[in-house]
Structure 1
Amino acid sequence: MAQRRIPSRIFLVGPMGAGKTTIGRELASRLGFRFVDSDSEIERKTGVSIPWIFDIEGEQGFRQREAAVIDQLTQQEHLVLATGGGAVTTPSNRDALSARGIVIYLFTPVQVQLQRTRHDTNRPLLQSSNPRQRLEELMQQRDPLYRQIADLVIESSSGRARGVAKRIEATLEKE
């Protein structure tokens, strides 16, 4: 039987609502890897929610915490890491992600992001009077950054997480 050639560090990037956490959990389970969501890890380490960090420290304070967590996590083996949607806005995060593992961009159109995030109050950047416009602005800013560091781009707007994870696994085995 052929040896699997799956990399030991898989990093998921993409916008809010792309399914990074759900697909990441499924992919990690399929591969026998540990799964970590960088936002959940920040909350675990600080003992407070992401919105609280944004309120008290602003986005810059949050991004500093995020960079420290991503630097630490990207050095761990047998890991599937789901990053926050804005992680790619910090150059050190892009460098760490692209240098230390395989980066998979879960592309999801704004309309799908809007449907998936419409009831979520835990996303500080969406607490505006026009979430669609905000998601479009974020996509315009971040899509080039996601693509810049992505080893693979996987469309994640349709199908179940299990199916998307299977597609990722099959693609990685071919690489």
Structure 2
Amino acid sequence: MTVFLCGFMGCGKSTIGKLAAKKLGCGFCDTDDLIVRTLEMTIPEIFEKKGEPFFRLTEAEIVKSLCGKTTVAACGGGAMLNPDTARAAREAGAAVVYIDVPFEVCYERIKDDTNRPIVVSSTKEQLEELYNSRKDIYLKHSTIRLECSGSPVENAELIVRSLRK
């Protein structure tokens, strides 16, 4: 089974995803890492040289290529905002898990991250607006929503339990 983790930047998709994959006995990947390796450019370089639309197109292709694989995939914050990408995941029978974490927690984790072009070019207020605008889309495009307020280990266990139901 393919499990896609979605949610706002800094919600813990990569950290929780690695732990959940281990508990499930399957592989783990991070779509941002796959994009960086595929294009041989950092994310800031991709945004600067190719633009965000190109990045989003590449991201969608990577997500679609993972459908049907036995893996837990941490998606970039914008991956499951694309209706075509979310539909491809659903049609492939993948679980799309929305990692719901309050904005303030996400912000504390991302505020100084220079590898996130959207963070670097946005104020806290703009990021909160983006967070709020994405929340309903994450809900719409996910098959499971989890409030992840515990430790990474506890949150990974939440994912595993929800998938085994």
**TM-score interval w.r.t. the shorter chain?**
over 0.9
Cα distance, 1:142 vs structure 2: 1.2
Cα distance, 1:169 vs structure 2: 1.1
Pair 1:122-2:139 in alignment: no
Pair 1:150-2:142 in alignment: yes
What is the aligned residue count? Answer: 164
Taking structure 2 as the reference length, the TM-score comes to 0.94
1:17-46: CA deviation from partner (whole Å, max 9, x where unpaired): 100000000000111111011000000111
CA distance in 1, matches of 2:34, 2:53: 18
Aligned partner of residue 35 in structure 1, secondary structure: strand
Cα distance, 1:171 vs structure 2: 2.2
Deviation >6 Å, runs of 4+: none
In structure 2, list runs of 5 or more residues that go unmatched: none
Aligned counterpart for 1:13 among listed residues 6, 9, 12 = 6
Matched AA of 1:154: L
Taking structure 1 as the reference length, the TM-score comes to 0.89
Aligned counterpart for 2:160 among listed residues 161, 169, 173 = 169
Corresponding position of 1:28: 21
1:52-97: CA deviation from partner (whole Å, max 9, x where unpaired): 0000111111111111111101232x11011000112322111122
CA distance in 2, matches of 1:52, 1:128: 14
Native 8 Å contact 1:88 1:94 kept in 2: yes
Native 8 Å contact 2:98 2:146 kept in 1: yes
Cα distance, 1:134 vs structure 2: 2.3
Native 8 Å contact 1:24 1:35 kept in 2: yes
State which structure, 1 or 2, has the greater radius of gyration over its C-alpha atoms: 1
CA distance in 1, matches of 2:160, 2:89: 19
Cα distance, 1:129 vs structure 2: 5.2
Matched AA of 1:41: L
In structure 1, list runs of 5 or more residues that go unmatched: 1-7
Matched AA of 2:155: V
Aligned partner of residue 105 in structure 1, secondary structure: strand
Matched AA of 1:135: L
Matched AA of 1:152: I
CA distance in 1, matches of 2:163, 2:68: 20
Corresponding position of 1:3: none
Cα distance, 1:140 vs structure 2: 2.2
Pair 1:81-2:47 in alignment: no
CA distance in 2, matches of 1:129, 1:67: 24
CA distance in 1, matches of 2:8, 2:145: 13
Corresponding position of 1:136: 128
